[in-house]
Amino acid sequence: MENADSLDGWQVVVSGGSGALGAAVVASFVERGASVTVLDRFAPKPFSARERVHAMQVDLTDERAVTAAFAGLRRLDASIHCAGGFDMKAIAETSLADLDAMWRMNAASCFLACREAVRAMRRTREMQARDARAGGRSKAAPAEATPGAAPQGWIVNVAARPALQPAGGMLAYSMSKAAVANLTQSLAAEVLAEGILVNAIVPSIMDTPANRRAMPTADHSKWPRVEEVARVIRALASPSNRTTSGALVPVYGAA
């Protein structure tokens, strides 16, 4: 699925962009010429090519904060939603507060980012249409996608393997990530006629410093590296993807 298309001029949002996967996604898009807005509840990390990376500290479960962050965008081509959290407890040890925390960190944050991304992509299309009517260089975008027409926006969410292959001991996490998978497919059906393509990657345990510390005796060579996962995300959110929407793409490595 690797794609060599230039992303010069693209404006991309990456939520959770200060995490291990998020930072790899930011680097992947920047190296192809895109400008990236990073939204994260943690203090932004330093990025290379900083002139094309704008970082904002945002609570991604705060509706007003997320709405304001996206409302400030003049254009949006792709929105990648990496924000989330993990909790591993058996059901007898899982409180309602634990479930609510996983729901907000994974499902609610993804919902808010998706909703605001769709709104921002619609504004982008309307702006391009106004520019075309005024004699500008931008091409007008149709109200509905026509056969063979170029997509108008790309959204990629991050689900997780337990959402598709449930495992015990992490019910709150699995439930919240299953919601992300359903959100992805439901939204894909809702906005397809507008030319917005929505997909999700479904990674297994990824090779990150935190996961290595948590599982020091595991065979880390079998885990997908975040750079590899980021390349799959970029392929789904690129001009070369004109047809794939509603897909849940496994990225399991050799595990």
* Residue 120 placed within a domain: yes
Q: 10 Å Cβ neighbour count for 154?
A: 28
For the stretch 11-33, pLDDT in tens is 999 999 999 999 999 999 999 99
* Residue 159 placed within a domain: yes
DSSP assignment of 185-204 equals: HHHHHHHGGGTEEEEEEEE-
Q: What φ, ψ does residue 45 adopt, rounded to 5°?
A: -85, 155
Q: What φ, ψ does residue 181 adopt, rounded to 5°?
A: -60, -45
For the stretch 77-126, pLDDT in tens is 999 999 999 999 999 999 999 999 999 999 999 999 999 999 999 999 88
Domain count, the chain: 1
Domain that holds residue 59: 11-251
* Residue 85 placed within a domain: yes
Q: What CATH number does residue 34 fall under?
A: 3.40.50.720
* Residue 5 placed within a domain: no
Strand intervals (E) in 35-98? 35-40, 53-57, 78-81
CA distances to 28, 149, 175, 207 from 255, rounded to whole Å, are 24, 38, 22, 11
Side-chain half-sphere of 110: how many Cα atoms within 13 Å? Answer: 29
Full-model pTM? 0.90
* Residue 218 placed within a domain: yes
* Residue 237 placed within a domain: yes
